[in-house]
């Protein structure tokens, strides 16, 4: 008989595809009209595209009504308080009033050198760096001048962010090289480095760095980074002990600054007592809207007391001992999330109350 070809699959009628084509045209038109950021928008779902205002973007390949993280620099700076919130990413400790008061009482806690390496690190820190740095910056503990403290704080925080990152890097590569776990030290060291970097950014929002200050920051980093890396490779305990002594000097400086700001009649009280905390500090430590500069300094001081205690603890441990501070990071993250959720619920409650009124 005759050959009968198999039935050919018929495409759906045009009328049945009309809603889909119409939706695509609407989406294409909406995307053309919407202002685009520097990055290329990924295709969002049709329903969200037609109902979300402002236009949605994609965040890590998922549709989201939040602005894409790859935003323009000026937009980032406008949202500085939000962007400085570290909830969920190397979460810093959010200090309570009671914790700050307890930390302020420990400003004079100092480790007494015991071993030969302790004594060497102590001598390098105090006689090779601390006292010459005081002379160079014109800092005196008795009624210090604000001008002497501005570039002192910037240089100090610029240098303080180096040791934690160097130590974390050395331990990271060692873990990869010897095929062994790190026992949780890297997380604490990276959080310390990030915390010090945030201190620097807070100070830079309050004061302008002069060319001399910038040159000192570069010089300190170029000189101290190889030194710290060499010390940590040869004797990690000595490296942590050095950082512990460094943090002791930072605690003394910050406590002295806070005391003079809160003492009427001093130079610091006259020039700094009325200053508001920058938004980056309010977002990072979740400070209230009316927080002052001295409130941010208290948080910075409390952070330094923690770094002091952590590094002196690490200096007394073996390199393969489990990190005793691992659970602390989880607790800090949980506290930050609870505070953020509470704030969100309060805003929603206020919004619904005002709407009813």
Neighbouring CB atoms inside 10 A of 281's CB total 29
Whether 93 has a pLDDT exceeding 60, the answer reads: yes
Query: What CA–CA distance (Å, rounded) separates 272 from 65?
Result: 40
CATH of the domain at 291: 1.20.1260.140
Position 73 in a domain: no
- Count of the separate structural domains present in the chain: 1
Print burial letters for 226-253: b (CB count within 10 Å at least 16), e (below 16): eebbebbeebbbbbbbbbbbbbbbbbbb
SS (H, E, C) 147-192: HHHHHHHHHHHHHHHHHHHHHHHHHHHHHHHHCCCCCCHHHHHHHH
pTM for this structure? 0.76
pLDDT of residue 54: 47
Find the mean pLDDT for residues 141-164: 93
Q: Quick: pLDDT tens for 260-298.
A: 999 999 999 999 999 999 999 999 999 999 999 999 999
Q: Which residue from 312, 305, 299 is spatially nearest to 252, judged by alpha carbons?
A: 305
- Per-residue b/e over 39-49, b at no fewer than 16 CB within 10 Å? eeeeebeeeeb
Q: State whether residue 276 is helix, strand or coil.
A: strand
The answer to whether residue 340 sits within a structural domain is no
Q: What percent of the chain has pLDDT over 90?
A: 61
Residue 329 has a pLDDT of 86
The reply to whether 225 falls in a domain is yes
Q: Identify the residue whose tokens are 């602005």.
A: 67
Helix (H, G, I), strand (E, B) or coil at 58: strand
Instruction: Examine residue 5 and state whether it is found in any structural domain, yes or no.
Output: no
Q: Looking at mean pLDDT, say which of 20-24, 141-145, 337-341 comes out highest.
A: 141-145
Average the pLDDT over 93-119 and give the result: 96
Q: Is residue 191 part of a domain?
A: yes
pLDDT value at residue 46: 35
Which of 95, 47, 107 is closest to 309 using CA atoms? 107
pLDDT, mean over the chain: 83
Q: Tally the C-alpha atoms within 13 A of residue 89's C-alpha that lie toward its C-beta.
A: 6
Contact indicator for 281, 195 with CB cutoff of 8 Å = no
pLDDT at 45 over 50: no
- pLDDT of 51 reads 44
Tell me if residue 141 falls in helix, strand or coil: coil
Domain assignment present for residue 55? The answer is: no
pLDDT at 57 over 50: no
d(C-alpha 95, C-alpha 86), whole Å: 14
Distance of CA 10 to the CA centre of its chain: 60
- Check residue 49 and give its pLDDT: 38
The answer to whether residue 69 is domain-embedded is no
> Does residue 60 form part of some domain?
no
pLDDT of residue 166: 97
315 burial via Cβ count (<10 Å: 0-12, 13-18, 19+): buried
Whether the bond between 54 and the residue before it is cis, its omega within 30 degrees of 0, is yes
Tokens of 71: 């935003």
Q: Please write the tens of the pLDDT for every residue from 299-328.
A: 999 999 999 999 999 999 999 999 999 888
Residue 257 φ/ψ, nearest 5 degrees: -65, -45
Give the range of the structural domain holding residue 289, as residue numbers without chain letter. Answer: 91-325
pLDDT-based confidence at 345, cuts 50/70/90? confident
């Amino acid at each position: 008989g005759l050959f009968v070809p198999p039935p050919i699959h018929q495409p759906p009628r045009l009328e049945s595809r009309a809603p889909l084509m119409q939706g695509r045209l609407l989406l294409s038109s909406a995307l053309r009209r919407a202002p685009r950021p520097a990055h290329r928008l990924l295709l969002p779902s049709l329903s969200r595209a037609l109902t979300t205002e402002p236009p949605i973007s994609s965040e890590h390949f998922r549709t989201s009504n939040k602005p894409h993280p790859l935003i323009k620099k000026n937009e980032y700076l406008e949202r500085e308080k939000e962007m400085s919130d570290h909830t969920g990413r190397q979460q810093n400790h959010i200090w309570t009033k009671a914790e700050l008061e307890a930390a302020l009482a420990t400003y004079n806690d100092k480790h007494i050198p015991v071993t030969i390496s302790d004594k060497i690190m102590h001598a390098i820190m105090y006689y090779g760096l601390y006292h010459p740095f005081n002379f160079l910056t014109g800092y005196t503990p008795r009624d210090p001048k604000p001008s002497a403290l501005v570039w002192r704080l910037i240089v100090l925080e610029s240098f303080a962010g180096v040791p934690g990152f160097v130590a974390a890097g050395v331990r990271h590569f060692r873990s990869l090289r010897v095929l062994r776990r790190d026992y949780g030290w890297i997380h604490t060291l990276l959080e310390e480095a990030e915390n010090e970097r945030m201190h620097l950014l807070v100070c830079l929002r309050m004061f302008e760095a002069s060319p001399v200050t910038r040159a000192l920051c570069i010089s300190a980093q170029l000189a101290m980074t190889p030194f710290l890396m060499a010390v940590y490779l040869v004797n990690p305990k000595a490296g942590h002990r050095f950082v512990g002594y460094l943090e002791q000097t930072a605690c003394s400086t910050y406590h002295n600054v806070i005391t003079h700001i809160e003492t009427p009649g001093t130079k610091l009280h006259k020039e700094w007592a009325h200053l508001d905390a920058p938004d980056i500090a309010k977002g990072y430590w979740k400070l209230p809207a009316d927080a002052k500069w001295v409130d941010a300094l208290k948080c910075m001081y409390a952070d330094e007391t923690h770094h002091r205690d952590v590094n002196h603890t690490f200096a007394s441990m073996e390199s393969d001992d489990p990190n005793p501070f691992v659970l602390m990071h989880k607790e800090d993250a949980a506290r930050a999330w609870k505070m953020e959720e509470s704030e969100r619920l309060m805003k929603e409650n206020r919004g619904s109350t005002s709407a009813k009124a």
